[in-house]
A and B are shown apart, each in its own frame.
Chain A
Amino acid sequence: MKVSLFVTCLIDLFYTNAGKATVELLERLGCEVDFPEAQTCCGQPAYNSGYVKEAKEAMKQMMRAFAHADYVVTPSGSCAAMVKEYPHLFHGDPEWEEEAKQLAAKTYELTQFLVDVLKVEDVGASLHGRATYHTSCHMTRLLGVKEAPLCLLKNVKGLELVPLPNAHQCCGFGGTFSVKMGPISEQMVDEKIAHIEEVDADYLIGADCGCLMNIGGRIERLGKPIRVMHIAEVLNQRK
């Protein structure tokens, strides 16, 4: 199966390991991975800040970049949710409406793709330790992917998965919210970290690098001994 990877700007620039793990994992599961070089960003930073015109230019570039893809897979629930919004945003636009619908229909978040399309629940990964999973808001509420990541993590050998108290609560990232409303965002992430500590987790696992950058950045600042990992990295561990 041929899969086109939408790696997201955060992973392209900062969290390259999550991107590499995604490629290796997909290949191990029999996919041929292609990386359309013309991809940039899903447009979310501009869209959520109210710069809709600017965002739409990025979105058009995405539609051009993935025009020939069969499946678009992305290791981010939030970016996938943004792409799923394209048809709504280009509704009534004769040039782009159809493209928007097509891209939205063939785009999958990574864990969703593994479980729903590849029908894999055990990827043969192993990682030793106690972990908790952060259910990112856009992935669960906007994209509606709740079970797939947990399903995959439950089958990781050696991993003790413990539920995160108040898991439904936002970590305080929210894109530009984290800088515009810094002091509020800080309180939110501190509460999230308190809950992670409450369950005594060695690993915090997530499927969105935005949330992980926020939670991880605060954990580093506070010097807490919690390791933050993208779910692709966990699923690609084979020790």
Chain B
Amino acid sequence: MPMKIENGPFWKRVEENLHNDFMRGAVAGMQDRGYVRRLGVIEELGHWEEWRSLAEQIRKHTLENLDFYLMQLSENVAKRGGHVFFAQTAEEANDYIRRVALEKQAKKIVKSKSMVTEEINLNPVLEAIGCQVVETDLGEYILQIDDHDPPSHIVGPALHKNKEQIRDVFQRKLGYTKSSDPVELARHAREMLRRDYLTADIGITGCNFAIAESGSITLVTNEGNADLVTALPKTQITVMGMERIVPTFEEMEVLVSMLTRSAVGQKLTSYITVLTGPRDEGDVDGPEEFHLVIVDNGRSSILGTEFQPVLQCIRCAACVNVCPVYRHIGGHSYGSIYSGPIGAVLSPLLGGYDDYKELPYASSLCAACTEACPVKIPLHELLIKHRQIIVEREGKAPAAEKLAMKAFRLGTASPSLYRFGTKLAPSAFAPFAEDGRITKGPGPLKAWTESREFPAPSKERFRDWFQTRQKGGNPS
């Protein structure tokens, strides 16, 4: 699955999803339950705003010194016998991983959840050399066997499917014969996956946080699948975005707490695993060989720009879970594996404006995302910055809008023009108004009056009333 989801133009995707009642019910339910749960664990921790500031400081500090920490991380991984590869592009990352797979003559590869491997579209590269690649995160597993249905949420990728749909997929693809009971479904997936763990040649994981001081990686799951992926196969490959790094264990602990509370409303997830290099002498399990692939793929060109704060992201999806636009259109409407507010900011940066020019506008700028973000990314402000670039640099704004904004500048910068223009408003709108309202508006008002009445301009402006009143007339 590459970052871009090939499912048609923006409005086609939105229209389809607005009619997907099941998906919308599932998303709204998840958001409403998640909201209460998240506020609960925030309250329980106490001093949330101070924790957010600390988390922001950690992320900012790391990004400002990223070169240093990347070097420290790679040295420490090497010291512990691991291999480090810096991939500037998706191709370089995929080539390296393919070479390792070929060298190991791998037939089967198990994977735990990783957004960056989706972003670089790793699975088809491995499948092309004859490897069977098995996703072991339950949500990802369901999507994979359903003919690679794209993820619709960065933490709960199969959020858009209900248990009956999952049962149908299992029946069709796995010969499943039992009910749609989630416990039975999960048990079946578990039995299937257990065999895969035991027979896999390579385990591939993502990375929640790499720890520079020790060369360790941290994996956060509720299913324990990452532990089997890293414990059983002889070779482990961990793929990380170059910004997913913390200086020491101390900062890791803070960020993991922020992550699990923000992502799933839990104090901690069921499994939080820290792994350092390959198996040591005397270890009972773990890989014989460990590779860390650090992926740039456009990230370094975000560094040092006004968009740098987006690299603070710890992929918790708190912004997605409170977004009222995501609530109605769902993840697939974004056309990117990164959906919701973080996706609307990140996708144009990594994938360009040609494919993602609508996303910065798919927000009412309500700032629920900014408020929820545990590392204080000013998401709604970054969306405005995208809009500014689309207008000023990309020249992709509609001509009518440009004209309207020119008029806005003239009218609002000059009080006399403003007074003159607004004085004309009631008569300009008169042909469209009835009973003080406009039901079918002209020009840009048309889109408004598709679903709402628009008020007719008042016959007497406020300023006229005020002036008359000051002069002693019209006392009410």
CB pair A61 B412 closer than 8 Å: yes
Closest Cβ of chain B: how far from A120's Cβ, in Å? Answer: 23
Which one, B455, B457, B462, B467, contacts A20 given CB within 8 A?
A: B462
Contacts A13-B422, A57-B409, A172-B364: A65 and B328 contacting too (C-beta < 8 A)? Answer: no
Which one, B367, B368, B405, B412, contacts A41 given CB within 8 A?
A: B412
Contacts A52-B388, A58-B408, A187-B328: A177 and B364 contacting too (C-beta < 8 A)? Answer: yes
Which one, B322, B384, B476, contacts A47 given CB within 8 A?
A: B384
Which chain A residues border B386 with CB–CB below 8 Å? 50
Contact with B along A23-49 (1 / 0, CB 8 A): 100000000000101111101011111
Count residues of chain B with CB under 8 A from any CB of chain A: 67
CB pair B362 A186 closer than 8 Å: no
Give complex CA distance A20, B469 in Å.
10
Q: Does B148 contact A (CB under 8 A)?
A: no
CB pair B413 A170 closer than 8 Å: no
CB pair A217 B455 closer than 8 Å: yes
Which one, B325, B327, B367, B451, contacts A218 given CB within 8 A?
A: B451
Give complex CA distance A175, B404 in Å.
14
Which chain A residues border B463 with CB–CB below 8 Å? 7, 12, 35, 37
Which one, B409, B452, B457, contacts A46 given CB within 8 A?
A: B409
Closest Cβ of chain A: how far from B174's Cβ, in Å? Answer: 36
Chain A interface mostly helix, strand, loop or mixed? helix
Which one, B324, B425, B454, contacts A169 given CB within 8 A?
A: B324
Give complex CA distance A54, B407 in Å.
9
CB pair A23 B411 closer than 8 Å: no
CB pair A12 B461 closer than 8 Å: yes
Which chain B residues border A14 with CB–CB below 8 Å? 455-458
Q: Does A237 contact B (CB under 8 A)?
A: no
Q: Does A220 contact B (CB under 8 A)?
A: yes
Contact with A along B393-428 (1 / 0, CB 8 A): 000010001000110110111110011001001000
Interface residues in B309-353 by Cβ distance below 8 A to A read: 322, 324-325, 327-329
Closest Cβ of chain A: how far from B254's Cβ, in Å? Answer: 24
Which one, B367, B412, B419, B465, contacts A16 given CB within 8 A?
A: B465
Chain B minimum-CB-distance residue to A42: B412
Q: Does B108 contact A (CB under 8 A)?
A: no
Give complex CA distance A100, B328 in Å.
38
Which one, B18, B361, B397, B467, contacts A177 given CB within 8 A?
A: B361
Which chain A residues border B325 with CB–CB below 8 Å? 181, 184, 188
Q: Does B370 contact A (CB under 8 A)?
A: yes
Q: Does A226 contact B (CB under 8 A)?
A: no
Closest Cβ of chain B: how far from A209's Cβ, in Å? Answer: 9
Contact with A along B443-456 (1 / 0, CB 8 A): 01101101111111
Give complex CA distance A184, B359 in Å.
13
The interface centre, meaning the residue of B327, B414, B466, B476 with most chain A CB atoms within 10 A of its CB, is B466
Closest Cβ of chain B: how far from A213's Cβ, in Å? Answer: 6
Which chain A residues border B367 with CB–CB below 8 Å? 137-138, 141-142
Chain A minimum-CB-distance residue to B371: A141
Contact size range, A: 35 or more
Which chain B residues border A187 with CB–CB below 8 Å? 18, 328
CB pair A174 B364 closer than 8 Å: yes
Which chain A residues border B408 with CB–CB below 8 Å? 41, 45-46, 51, 54, 58
Which one, B390, B439, B458, B466, contacts A23 given CB within 8 A?
A: B466
Q: Does B387 contact A (CB under 8 A)?
A: yes
CB pair A213 B455 closer than 8 Å: yes
Q: Does B437 contact A (CB under 8 A)?
A: yes
Which chain B residues border A92 with CB–CB below 8 Å? none
CB pair B415 A37 closer than 8 Å: yes
CB pair B388 A50 closer than 8 Å: yes
Which chain A residues border B368 with CB–CB below 8 Å? 137, 141, 168-170
CB pair B453 A217 closer than 8 Å: yes
Closest Cβ of chain B: how far from A38's Cβ, in Å? Answer: 4
Which chain A residues border B422 with CB–CB below 8 Å? 9, 12-13
CB pair B365 A177 closer than 8 Å: yes
Contacts A14-B458, A141-B368, A184-B362: A61 and B465 contacting too (C-beta < 8 A)? Answer: no
Give complex CA distance A216, B409 in Å.
28
Q: Does A19 contact B (CB under 8 A)?
A: yes
Which chain A residues border B451 with CB–CB below 8 Å? 182, 185-186, 189, 218, 221
Contacts A179-B448, A220-B437: A58 and B413 contacting too (C-beta < 8 A)? Answer: yes
Which chain A residues border B461 with CB–CB below 8 Å? 12-13, 16
Q: Does B363 contact A (CB under 8 A)?
A: yes
Chain A minimum-CB-distance residue to B385: A50
Which one, A7, A137, A174, A217, contacts B448 given CB within 8 A?
A: A217
**Chain A residues near B (Cβ < 8 Å):** 7, 9, 11-16, 19-20, 23, 35, 37-41, 43, 45-54, 57-58, 60-61, 65, 137-138, 141-142, 166, 168-170, 172-189, 191, 213-214, 216-218, 220-221
Given contacts A38-B415, A187-B328, 4 further A-B contacts (CB under 8 A): A16-B465, A49-B401, A181-B361, A184-B329
- Sample (14) of A-B pairs whose CB atoms are under 8 Å apart: A13-B457, A14-B455, A38-B415, A45-B408, A51-B408, A54-B409, A170-B364, A172-B364, A174-B364, A179-B447, A181-B364, A182-B450, A184-B328, A217-B455
Sorted nearest first, the 10 A-B pairs with minimum C-beta distance are: A174-B364, A50-B387, A217-B452, A58-B412, A170-B366, A137-B366, A54-B409, A19-B462, A57-B413, A179-B447
